[in-house]
């Protein structure tokens, strides 16, 4: 008899499964809201909601197995909120990535270990799949959660800098990316490249300057934004 059966009707497998899917959807909405409302409350909601469906999935991994091409594995849908946080984190421009990578690695290993232990306890037929899925989700949440917290809990107005555009490049693949090559500026002592939106890419030319706003970061990892410099007003 399984743990779910022993627990009685209050832990009906369908309720657990569909409740987890609903929580995962809410986590995605909350993480997506950080783009629309870049404030501490939306960030807090996203950071709190994302781990909940993951925890439930790891507590009852046998309820979330799927079969793809004849192979059983753990359904990764519980990590959808963490994945959206990762995308938000990757789109943030930081000065240095060491801390984010360390946090992501630590959480990935911790979640992978927890996933393995929970799979063994539940006698899951695919413990390796459970562990690998948990490891990936932990890494997503570690990097994305750190980035969102660092940016959205940072109340500083930022310091203004300017940098000259030395080159422009466009890369075509699954998606098109627009990059500006910038001369050294502020704490960045060497030329660097930054990905920008298409409208900013088209608004500046080689030799122009862009305006950067550097923030210290709530978690002490500096991040910055790039924008066109305002046109000079006539005297």
Q: How far apart are CA 169 and CA 206, in angstroms?
A: 11
pLDDT tens string 28-57 = 999 999 988 878 999 999 999 999 999 999
Task: Answer yes or no: is pLDDT of 123 > 80.
Answer: yes
pLDDT for the residue 10: 62
CB atoms near residue 94 (< 10 Å): 18
Q: Where residue 8 falls among pLDDT bands split at 50, 70, 90?
A: very low
Q: Where residue 172 falls among pLDDT bands split at 50, 70, 90?
A: confident
122, 177 in Cβ contact below 8 A? no
CB atoms near residue 63 (< 10 Å): 17
Residue 224 token pair: 């910055």
Mean pLDDT of 73-91: 93
Q: How far apart are CA 141 and CA 30, in angstroms?
A: 14
Mean pLDDT of 133-137: 96
What is the average pLDDT score of the chain? Answer: 90
Model-level pTM?
0.87
Phi and psi at 180, nearest 5°, equal: -115, 135
Task: Answer yes or no: is pLDDT of 2 > 80.
Answer: no
Ranges of CATH 2.40.50 domains, the chain:
159-228
For the structural domain made of 159-228, what CATH number should be given?
2.40.50
Host H or E run for residue 149: helix 127-152
pLDDT > 70 fraction of the chain, expressed in percent and rounded: 94
Q: How far apart are CA 226 and CA 212, in angstroms?
A: 5
**CA dihedral over 122, 108, 92, 40, signed as positive or negative:** positive
pLDDT tens string 104-118 = 999 999 999 999 999
pLDDT tens string 195-227 = 999 999 999 999 999 999 999 999 999 999 999
pLDDT for the residue 66: 87
Cβ neighbors of 212 (< 8 A, separation 6 or more) are 160, 161, 162, 163, 185, 186, 224, 225, 226, 227
Phi and psi at 223, nearest 5°, equal: -135, 160
pLDDT tens string 60-70 = 999 998 888 87
> Which 3 state secondary structure label does DSSP give 75?
coil
Task: Answer yes or no: is pLDDT of 26 > 80.
Answer: yes
Q: How far apart are CA 27 and CA 16, in angstroms?
A: 16
pLDDT for the residue 208: 92
pLDDT tens string 177-194 = 999 999 999 999 999 999
């Amino acid at each position: 008899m399984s743990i779910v059966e022993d627990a009685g009707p209050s832990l009906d497998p369908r309720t657990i499964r569909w409740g987890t899917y609903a929580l995962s959807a809410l986590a995605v909405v909350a993480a997506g809201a950080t783009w629309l409302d870049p404030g501490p409350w939306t960030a807090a909601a996203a950071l709190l909601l994302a781990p909940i469906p993951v925890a439930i999935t790891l507590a009852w991994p046998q309820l979330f197995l799927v079969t793809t091409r004849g192979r059983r594995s753990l359904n990764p849908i519980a990590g959808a909120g963490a994945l959206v946080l990762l995308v938000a984190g990757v789109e943030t421009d930081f000065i240095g990535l060491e801390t984010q990578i360390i946090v992501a690695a630590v959480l990935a290993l911790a979640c992978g270990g927890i996933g393995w232990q929970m799979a063994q306890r539940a006698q899951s037929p695919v413990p390796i799949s459970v562990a690998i899925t948990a490891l990936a989700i932990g890494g997503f949440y570690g990097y994305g959660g750190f980035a969102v917290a660092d940016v959205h809990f940072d109340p500083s107005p930022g310091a203004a800098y300017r940098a000259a555009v030395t080159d422009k490049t466009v890369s075509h693949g699954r998606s098109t990316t627009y990059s500006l090559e910038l001369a050294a500026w502020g704490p960045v002592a060497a030329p660097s490249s930054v990905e920008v939106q298409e409208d900013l890419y088209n608004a500046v030319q080689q030799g122009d300057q862009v305006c950067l706003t550097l923030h210290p970061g709530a978690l002490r990892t500096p991040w910055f934004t790039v924008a066109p410099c305002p046109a000079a007003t006539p005297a």
